[in-house]
Chains A and B, each alone.
Chain A
């Protein structure tokens, strides 16, 4: 399974959610499918996408937050999994694209290539629903089940270590940030 195909399989659902991605290939590929104002790309600060998603999920329980994480990023903030599990936002789906490598900086293998199991780590951290999938159909089914479950889910998608030819897109960091904040403001429930 390619990450781009996995995102394509749930793109319609992502349009209805608040989406936070990590940097690099995930951000560029999601933009290649079509940027939306409810998509935020954390183009640095590796590891913090899941923490940022937690901040949104706690602040706005009426929204469904989807974090598109990666193995390299998640390995930098494994402690964050314990915080995520501790506060158990039921409106957060944590997707981890695991290509077993740090693709955008030359493809160096991460520890998932030698057996570290991010789904098992998430489960052991206390995340109530975890699933690891390897095909596009299983990914879509797992993602839809996570949305329907209304409970914190870590969905690990094993994907090929392939990505786009470049990572810089036409969308500037601050344009994305302020557009995303405006989207969240405009969707705020009326008091």
Chain B
């Protein structure tokens, strides 16, 4: 599978460096290594979800209880989580670090990913969610740290879009 193990390791180490102790996730091709790393890490609780919106509630509860968390999802999972993001995380000022695999952009071969890919950034902007892309390995650690810093200083959701050039090795 051409999902980059090296990039996944960089992202995982970047997340761990911010003090994340709970990761909620739904499987998606680009996220397989990240989910495996969380599963194998005794310092992290991996919560496998039925639907991404649950992860917003879990992260909100963890935050109120003093534990840092992150969500791993595909952009269609982000779309499925929007009511929770708005009416839990934004309404209640919950810092939420979302890592979203940005399927459906240039190079996408799966027709079913293309609609979600086309609207993700627009929806993030409509929701006023600060976002940045991770496209190269050199950006990963610093951008994750900065996204985490903003999420906590603003007490709001932030998003990092995991790009094809970073995650997929063809």
Point out residues on A near B: beta carbons under 8 Å.
Answer: 20, 40, 42-60, 63, 77, 79-80, 82-83, 86-87, 173-174, 177, 180-181, 184-185, 188
Query: In whole angstroms, how far apart are the Cα atoms of A51 and B94 in the complex?
Result: 14
Query: In whole angstroms, how far apart are the Cα atoms of A82 and B62 in the complex?
Result: 19
Contact B22 A55, beta carbon cutoff 8 Å: yes
Residues of B within 8 A of A87 (CB): 47
A44-B91, A49-B57, A52-B88 known; A79 and B51 CB under 8 Å?
yes
For the A-B complex, the count of residue pairs with Cβ-Cβ distances under 8 Å equals: 114
Tell me the residues in window 46-90 of chain B with beta carbons closer than 8 Å to chain A beta carbons.
Answer: 47-51, 53-67, 69, 83-84, 87-88
Residues of A within 8 A of B62 (CB): 55-56, 58-59
Contact A45 B66, beta carbon cutoff 8 Å: no
Please pick, from B21, B50, B88, B92, the residue contacting A174 in the complex, using a CB distance under 8 A. Answer: B92
A174-B92, A174-B93 known; A47 and B53 CB under 8 Å?
yes
Contact A42 B88, beta carbon cutoff 8 Å: yes
Shortest CB-to-CB span from B128 to chain A, Å, is 17
Query: In whole angstroms, how far apart are the Cα atoms of A63 and B65 in the complex?
Result: 10
* Residue ID in chain A nearest B83 by CB atoms: A45
Query: In whole angstroms, how far apart are the Cα atoms of A48 and B51 in the complex?
Result: 11
Query: In whole angstroms, how far apart are the Cα atoms of A51 and B51 in the complex?
Result: 11
Sample (5) of A-B pairs whose CB atoms are under 8 Å apart: A40-B64, A59-B66, A60-B67, A79-B49, A180-B64
